[in-house]
A and B are shown apart, each in its own frame.
Chain A
Amino acid sequence: MSYVEVPLARLSLVALLVAVAVAVSFRARLDLERSILWASARGVAQLLAVGYALRLLFAHEHVASLAAALTAMLLVAAWTASRRVEHAPAALFLPALAAIGAGGLIALVPVFALVIVPTPWYSGRYVIPIAGMMLSNAMNVVALTFERIFASARSEAPVIEQLLALGASPEQALHAQVRSALRAAMTPTLNGLLTVGLVALPGMMTGQIVSGIDPGSAVRYQLVVLFQLAAVAATSGWVAATLSRRMLFTARAQLRPDGAPPPGER
């Protein structure tokens, strides 16, 4: 089977596709031209950098370089998930780091120990792309969980406080909010499982098929990844929810005033 390379000259042709997007934005007065150009330029720079970094990483396989790459990915994911969350009662970076890290560990360690066993085990070619998918899914789940729990704790503060007054533990008082946040955060992952192959071939499988791998083998990899994603979503979401609850309540089972509207002086 032959592999079709993309020469740089032809690659530059796809810049025209960006021009299409810019033209549409201009014509429809979306006022997005600058954003499209900036995002495209960033995408080019980030991918070029990643391409070189991966080439370097694969050429000098070493535990330390793999660990450094994974750490950097984890830090960026945690930083992204903890930004722009409204009504957070405390700094979210460390909780995000813990939640994403926990999901990543649960999904990655058993799989690379027992299912996809590369030699050496720290082979970046396998670990980096799969870890990237896991951390990115964890990042989205954690951001969504934080966002929804803090927003609903604020809007439903009277209900939560009424439950506390009736003798609920913080866990009981926040149960409905945690449940709906986790369900919402897991929905995209579950939809992915339900529609896989029907709407789109997932990225991993697409990549393997394009590079000439037998579809049967590609399917096996994709199944591993999909099940990993489900575990990541559940674990990271659950850890994020548990940490959110700790942030929302005092040690004496009171809803923190800065997580709720000011004391209602009516």
Chain B
Amino acid sequence: MEPPRPGPPRLTATGLTLSRGGRRLLDAVDFRVDAREVVCVEGPSGCGKSTLLRVLATLLEADAGEVFLDGVAAHALPPRLFRRRVAYVPQQAPMLDGTVADNVATGPRLRGERLAPASVAQRLLQVGLDAAFADRRARELSGGERQRVALARALANEPEILLLDEPTAALDARAAEVVLERVRALCREGLGVVVVSHEPAHAIALGALRRAMREGRLGPAEEARA
């Protein structure tokens, strides 16, 4: 049963097909996520779900098919503009040199803007990190802290769509709950969120529309096993 779809469709894709090394990673995938909606893509590792996310982020070019943002083909938009509006947080997102504050301020800095310390602190609080983290060396953080800094870093660009690859994989149960709650709140605030996860319980906790990926094909998820 499909939940209601409020607002206009935001990020869509049609006919995404991609092969690498003789393997079909994406096979005619149609995709859609609206504002205020969480779509969870589930599936075994190697099924193509991370590849789908990278194609949706325009970091990887599909052999065929197209990604649309608000109905405009991604090819027709400058890549930097598209990526500012569609944020992508990979699994085990790498930290950049410098402090946590430097990391969080990266997106604005790349546009020649400065993110005020108060804004940095606010972004950190949004992902459940104390403002004192701002001065820590980002590469010395634990896996769970890194994952949350990566989320704060993505949010500093004020995106409309958020693509998250296994956002809770490196987190303990409590930290995972913080991130999931944060994703729910962002969704209420108007973001469209795509989560790649192998954990059906998280999709259910997020109230997500669940899709299952299998050998490059996207279909409805099986019955909940949680």
- B99 contacts the other chain (Cβ, under 8 Å)? no
Evaluate contact between A166 and B58: CB separation under 8 angstroms.
no
Instruction: Give which listed residue, B20, B50, B59, B166, contacts A165 with CB less than 8 A.
Output: B59
Docked-complex contact B79 and A252, CB < 8 angstroms: yes
A108 vs B88: C-alpha distance when bound (angstroms): 48
Nearest residue, chain A, Cβ from B88: A165
B25, B83, B91: the one contacting A263 at CB < 8 Å is: B25
A250 within 8 A of B: yes
Point out the residues of chain B lying under 8 angstroms from A161, CB to CB: 59, 90
Fill in one digit per residue for A51-68: 1 if any B CB lies within 8 Å of its CB, else 0: 000000000000000000
- 3 A-B pairs with least C-beta separation: A253-B79, A165-B88, A166-B107
- Binding stretch for chain B, among A81-89, A145-153, A254-262: A254-262
Partner of A166 from the list B20, B51, B83, B97 (CB cut-off 8 Å) is B83
Q: With an 8 A cutoff between CB atoms, is A5 at the interface?
A: no
Within the assembled complex, what's the spacing in Å between the Cα atoms of A166 and B91? 15
Verify A252–B75 contact, CB threshold 8 A. Answer: yes
B54 within 8 A of partner (CB) = yes
A162 at the interface (CB under 8 A from B): yes
Instruction: Determine how close the nearest CB of chain A comes to the CB of B50; give it in whole angstroms.
Output: 6
Interface residues on B, range: 35 or more
What are some 22 contacts across the A-B interface (CB < 8 A)?
A158-B90, A158-B94, A159-B96, A161-B59, A163-B106, A165-B59, A165-B83, A165-B89, A165-B90, A165-B154, A166-B106, A167-B80, A167-B107, A168-B80, A250-B61, A252-B75, A257-B20, A263-B54, A264-B90, A265-B45, A265-B46, A265-B50
Residues of chain A having any CB pair with chain B under 8 Å: 158-159, 161-169, 172, 176, 250, 252-255, 257, 262-266
Partner among A159, A167, A176 whose Cβ is within 8 Å of the Cβ of B94 = A159
Shortest CB distance B63–A (Å): 11
Interface residues of B (CB under 8 A from A): 18, 20-21, 25, 45-48, 50-51, 54, 57-61, 75, 79-80, 83-84, 87-91, 93-94, 96-97, 106-107, 110-111, 153-154, 157, 165-166
Q: Chain A residue with minimal CB distance to B106?
A: A166
Bound together, the chains give a CA A159 to CA B20 distance in angstroms of: 22
Complex Cα spacing A164 to B48, Å:
21
**Other-chain contact of A265, B25, B84, B87, B153 (Cβ < 8 Å):** B25
Structural contact, B59 and A254, CB atoms closer than 8 A: yes
Partner of A254, one of B25, B60, B154: B60
Task: State whether A162 and B94 are in contact (beta carbons under 8 Å apart), knowing that A167-B111, A254-B58 are contacts in the complex.
Answer: yes
CA distance A108 to B98 in the complex (A): 42
Establish whether residues A253 and B94, one from each chain, have CB atoms under 8 Å apart when the complex forms.
no
Give Cα distance in the complex from A167 to B58, angstroms: 11
Which of B54, B75, B83 has a CB less than 8 Å from the CB of A167?
B83
Taking the closest CB of chain A, its distance from the CB of B69, in whole angstroms, is 14
